[in-house]
Amino acid sequence: MDAVARPPQSRSFFSGFTRLCKGLALVLVAGHSLLQLFPFAVSYLALIPARTIPFAWNLITAGYTEQTLPGVAISVVGLLFIGKLLEPIWGAKEFFKFIVVVNFLISICIFVTAISLYYITTQESYLYTPVSGFHGILSGFLVGIKQLMPDHELSLFLLKIRVKWIPTLLAVVSVAVSFFVPVSASYLPTVLFGIYMGWLYLRYFQKRPETGLKGDPSDEFSFSSFFPQFMRPILDPIASLFDKMLCGKRLHTLSESSGLVLGGNLLPGSDPIDASRRRERGARALEQRLEAEKLAAADGKKDGESHGDASESV
């Protein structure tokens, strides 16, 4: 009877969420609930370019404010499951820093874009349409997965696609849908800026705990890697300008101040080979974690069936 009454103790796919992700999920739910109870709060929490000055805090709060029920559901599920994969590899501190920095950069870009479009078109809708949501951060998370396991294949409906193309596919689908569903156009800038700012942060600024250095200078994570091969000769010269501005000067400064370059050679951890090894380690860790979750879910299902058979026999 004890065996029948005792539930299976195996770890399932729906467990193991980190405390940080659960806390952030609670913030998203609380923000959405607040808007349902007090609809006027959207004017103070969402990003409304005409009100950003003096309400500058909406540059931060907008990313954690979901206006729709489907939006908060997708954000919470995406945060919990993707966070369960990325946070153990990045570390809680770096994971949280990624969210805070990328969210703020997305809001800045949306604010500047809205002001620019208003001066170009004189349409006040660009100034007074509230923009908010966590989907920009989710888009950035997909870039992080692309960095760690680019060659891993996912099955989407009847198609198999490599993880490295997921951010690009999301951008293409978002642009296409915006032409046919006008409401989705308000989500488009957040998604696109989320992908770009996520890449920008991981490419140049993310601190790697194993080396103490920043960024991922490998060719496999270059800006042109988001596009098909035939477009890269056109994009690489443009992207190289950003490398020189954001990465080249920083490497030169580090070489003088901290000895990054020694005897004309880069120290371990600062070259593309190290970045490739880092991705391989991250990919192995993610694959092992996914496999463990699948096995745990399968074991839980078997245990449930065995308990059910036992209860029937009793």
Residue by residue, DSSP assigns 84-100 as: HHHHHHH-HHHHHHHHH
pLDDT in tens, 145-200: 999 888 888 776 677 888 889 999 999 999 998 888 776 667 889 999 999 999 99
CA distance 213 to 130: 38
Contact 137, 99 (CB under 8 A): yes
CA distance 242 to 253: 16
CA 174, distance to chain mean position in Å, is: 16
* Domain assignments of the chain as residue spans, ordered by start: 2-313
Look at the pTM and tell me if it is higher than 0.85: no
**CATH (one of 1.10.1760.20, 1.20.1540.10, 3.40.710.10, 1.10.1030.10) for 2-313:** 1.20.1540.10
CA distance 179 to 142: 23
The whole-chain average pLDDT of the chain stands at 79
Q: Taking the CA of residue 187 as centre, how many other CA atoms within 13 Å lie in the half-sphere pointing to its CB?
A: 24
CA distance 283 to 296: 20
CA distance 58 to 256: 40
pLDDT band, residue 231 (cuts 50/70/90)? confident
pLDDT of 267 higher than 70: no
CA distance 127 to 234: 35
Please report the pLDDT score of residue 275 as a whole number.
Answer: 53
pLDDT band, residue 21 (cuts 50/70/90)? very high
Please tell me whether the peptide bond between 189 and the residue prior to it is cis, using omega within 30 degrees of 0.
no
Please report the pLDDT score of residue 282 as a whole number.
Answer: 59
Contact 142, 166 (CB under 8 A): yes
Contact 85, 286 (CB under 8 A): yes
Phi/psi of residue 159, nearest 5 degrees: -110, 150
3 state DSSP class of 54: coil
